[in-house]
Amino acid sequence: MSENEAWEPKIVAIVCNWCTYAGADLAGISRIQYPPNVRIIRTPCTGRINPFYIVKALQQGADGVLVSGCHPGECHYLTGNLSARRKFAMLKRFLNYLGLEADRTIFTWVSASEGERFANVIRGVTEKVRKLGPATKLVKSL
């Protein structure tokens, strides 16, 4: 299908301002190449990310959603990422239980000094989502 050949995964990355966003910046400044499939949304902290955002992104047609923030112990609001970790542990299992592929929602940590890791994460996630193909479940037909 020609349409499918042209298909490129669309990934929404919801990241915290202090670590992962800075890590993405560093990847850029260091001219590290990574796939252009990701749209970054900057939030103050992973603790600020309402799990509804993820569900909503999937409904709006994201093929994958990535959430990333500071490593545990390094959150700039001290424990925002620790609360987030609990919410996402539950969410990921739940979405998978309902029948959504586990690889469509990915959670990780990337610090401000990890430009290379950021690029690796994007590469890895893009590959995973590419393997799954375009999202069909939960997607709103507009």
Partner 1 sequence: MENIEKKMREEARRLLEEKRVDVLIGYEAGTLPLTATPCFITAPEEAERLVWNRFCNHNLAKYVHDVISQHRNSQKRVKPEDRKKKVVGVVARGCTTRSIVIHLQERQYGRDEVVIIGVPCTGYADRRKVSQALGGEAVLEGALEGDVIRAVTEGGEKKIAVADVLADNCRTCRFNNPIISDVMAGEAAPPMNPEAEYDEVTAFENLPIEERWAYFVKEMGKCIRCYACRQACPSCYCPVCFVEQSRPAWVGISDDPSDTQVFQIMRLYHMVGRCVDCGSCVSVCPMGVDLRKFLKKLDKDAFELFQNRAGSSLEDLPPLSRHRENDNEDFIYHPEIGGHNT
Closer residue to partner 1, CB minimum distance, 36 or 97: 97
Phi, psi (rounded to 5 degrees) for 55: -60, -45
Question: Could you say whether residue 80 binds ligand FES (CB under 6 A)?
Answer: yes
| Total Cβ atoms within 10 A of residue 53 | 16
What residues from 79 to 138 belong to the interface with partner 1 (CB under 8 A)?
A: 79, 82-83, 85-102, 106-109, 117, 120-121, 123-125, 137-138
Q: Taking CB within 5 to 8 Å according to partner kind, which of partner 1, ligand FES, none is near residue 77?
A: ligand FES
Instruction: Tell me how far apart the alpha carbons of residues 117 and 110 are, in angstroms, rounded to a whole number.
Output: 7
Instruction: Tell me how far apart the alpha carbons of residues 59 and 52 are, in angstroms, rounded to a whole number.
Output: 10
Phi, psi (rounded to 5 degrees) for 109: -120, 135
What residues from 60 to 79 belong to the interface with partner 1 (CB under 8 A)?
A: 72-73, 79
Closer residue to ligand FES, CB minimum distance, 48 or 130: 48
Q: Which residues are CB-neighbours of 3 under 8 A, at least 6 positions away?
A: none
Number of residues that bind ligand FES (CB under 6 A): 13
Binding residues for ligand FES, per CB under 6 A?
Answer: 16, 18-19, 45-47, 69-70, 75-77, 80-81
